[in-house]
Amino acid sequence: MKTWGILLLLLCLQAVTYAVIGESQTCPAENVGKCDDSDWEGEFFPGINKIKYEGPSSKNPLSFKWYNAEEEILGKKMKDWFRFSVAFWHTFRGTGADPFGAPTKYWPWEDGTNSLKMAKRRMRANFEFINKLGVDWWCFHDRDIAPDGETLEEANANLDEVVALAKELQMQSNKKVLWGTAQLFMHPRYMHGAATSSELGVYAYAAAQVKKALEVTHYLGGENYVFWGGREGYQSLLNTDMERELNHLARFFEAAVAYKKKIGFNGTLLIEPKPQEPTKHQYDWDAATTANFLRKYGLIGEFKLNIECNHATLSGHSCHHELETARINGLLGNIDANTGDPQVGWDTDQFLVDIQEATMIMLSVIRNGGIAPGGFNFDAKLRRESTDVEDLFIAHIIGMDTMARGLKNAATLIADGTLAELVRKRYQSFDTEIGAQIEAGKADFDFLEKKAKQWGEPKVASAKQELAEMILQSAL
């Protein structure tokens, strides 16, 4: 009993400590008396000015070293190659919590609630952040920007109220929505999936939620809408009718396309592939699987893909592979600029800082001619141990600088032409009359057998992989 008493005392002291921390950080000193007002317009990031480009020699952590928004690369400004977007859910709803630990982040503007008043305050913080960061876009999940409700009607009313403020702030700051989406994975009703749920009522509720999310994305001028099916899949095939679930998913997407056209939303519909987690097997496993699904159900012209680099590695591919798969299928629409940790087995959503990976990504983007009306959104979060407000800026700065270096490196490789020439030479045997016949589908097996006997044992040239890697490294 004595042990339990001591434990209870420690828990009470911890709760008081958290309360004191939360209270002391709720309102910056210059805004005393304003913080309980839902219209509070105090500065959320005092002491942090607009982030500027200072060049590679700068030692200022709150400056860009490589990302120069107005610099022109291959006939297009950097900002237009990237169309960077801040992800509301990680930047403003990330708490540092993980499956093994409680939240570690207590931002100054938070009051510990998920009220409408708090939602509006977060939205104001979001716009101050993207203004100071110098980013023109933001993206969101419906339930991250506004609290859920006891009923669908209440949830929609909450969303309307926050979206009205977001619209006002967009107009004031000339910012835009890159994409919106509905959160169809967190609520218990979606435990078996949303569009692939075994329950008809859940399917209908998910449809209603997407309908509303499409409406508000359209209202905010969003240029894309994303579907991420975190629970669209199965845990076991023993109790799953996979064919029926896939058919239901296709019908759901068809209805989304029809409603998009009905309301006059001209944005691109995007599907974000992921192999597993939280579901054991998700139906949009990777870019190739998703492309096959779209072709099977006649949806290939209605959707593109939002490729997330961390999801690519979880599916056993590189991000470059997934981007190329999407690109050659005409499906590359948007990129979640993040990465994972090879020593950690889950989706860690880290900011991408690998310059070689960024270079490979930008080679695909350049080959694609850019990704507008898509862009690069930072579906990435601070590490659990990073708890200072300025860390939000530093994380985005290094992510943007890394991608800028990747763009410059890719442009150097293209201008040099050595890598492209190496690839061309590797396939030059097909740059012949007979090669052209094969590629045109005019060479049958009888003809090819005749040529094989005529030519004898073929000579096979070196692939020159090490030389290709040397050329890549020379540009980094």
CA atoms of 43 and 182, how far apart (whole Å): 30
Indicate the SS3 state at residue 22. helix
Q: How far are the Cα atoms of 106, 171, 187 from residue 49, in angstroms, in the given order?
A: 22, 21, 38
DSSP state of 459: P
Q: Which of 141, 192, 218, 396 is catalytic?
A: 141
DSSP state of 376: E
Helices then strands (H, E): number in the chain?
17, 16
Strands 350-351 and 338-339 come out as antiparallel
Peptide bond into 278 cis (omega under 30): yes
Rounded to the nearest 5 degrees, what angle is found at the Cα of 52, between the Cα atoms of 49 and 55?
A: 140
**376 strand-pairing partners:** 84, 335
CA atoms of 341 and 348, how far apart (whole Å): 7
- The verdict on whether 141 is a catalytic residue reads yes
CA atoms of 433 and 439, how far apart (whole Å): 10
Task: List % helix, strand, coil for the chain (3-state, nearest 5).
Answer: 50, 10, 40
Instruction: Report, as residue numbers or ranges, the catalytic residues.
Output: 141
